[in-house]
Amino acid sequence: MADTGKLFVISAPSGAGKTTLVRKVLNRFKALSYSVSHTTRSPRENEQEGLDYFFISLEQFEQKITLEHWLEWAKVHDNYYGTSKELVRECLEKGQSLLLDIDVQGAKQIMKSQLGPVSIFIMPPSFEVLSQRLLNRGTDSKQVIAKRLENAKLEMTQKDLYQYVVVNDNLEEAIEKLCSIIKKEMA
């Protein structure tokens, strides 16, 4: 269908600056919406239900696995995250493009689907910068940070599965690079 929206899948290790990048990019494209995921993780301070995530219980999440509600889902850092099949379908059918901010496991599931996503991996400039950013963020315990760093190492080995890799060394340059990819792919 010529007038369906396009699907963009963006992954990055925690602390690569993805959230800031994604926000900036979304402001530039009216025809691009953010896909709000469901998670069993507790909300962080300042996170809003339905805006950042739909926060649901483990029981609800597991029931939705049984009901085949998820387009993709994964367990990331001990919590479950999933993208609703229905929300994605509704959006794309309206001609609205969607940006999914999901982990590598989920991205792989979408890459295998018939949806023909555009896949982008955001790399931090170095592992040291990543560690420092996670520590400075001050939102997570030492244990959680250690887990996120371990996972980041693993995710970074899989960057070549993606069509595009953007290094977030300089924020403004990374925004421009990301925007030019999206503009080209939406044309």
- Rounded-to-integer distance, Cα 82 and Cα 102, Å: 9
The bridge status of strand 7-11 relative to strand 97-101 is: parallel
Q: How far is the CB of 3 from ligand 5GP (least distance, A)?
A: 26
Q: How far is the CB of 76 from ligand 5GP (least distance, A)?
A: 4
Q: How far is the CB of 104 from ligand 5GP (least distance, A)?
A: 8
Residue 133 burial (CB < 10 Å; 0-12/13-18/19+)?
middle
Q: Which is nearer to ligand 5GP, 5 or 103 (CB)?
A: 103
Q: Which is nearer to ligand 5GP, 87 or 182 (CB)?
A: 87
Whose tokens are 């595009």? That residue is 164
Q: How far is the CB of 88 from ligand 5GP (least distance, A)?
A: 10
- Rounded-to-integer distance, Cα 158 and Cα 76, Å: 15
Q: Which is nearer to ligand 5GP, 16 or 175 (CB)?
A: 16
Q: Which is nearer to ligand 5GP, 76 or 182 (CB)?
A: 76
Per DSSP, what are the bridge partners of residue 54?
A: 38
- Rounded-to-integer distance, Cα 120 and Cα 110, Å: 12
Quote the DSSP letter at residue 49.
B
Q: Which is nearer to ligand 5GP, 86 or 184 (CB)?
A: 86
Residue nearest to ligand 5GP (CB): 106
| Token output for 92 | 């794309």
Q: How far is the CB of 77 from ligand 5GP (least distance, A)?
A: 6
Contact residues toward ligand 5GP (CB under 6 A) are 14, 37, 41, 72, 74, 76, 81-83, 101-103, 105-106
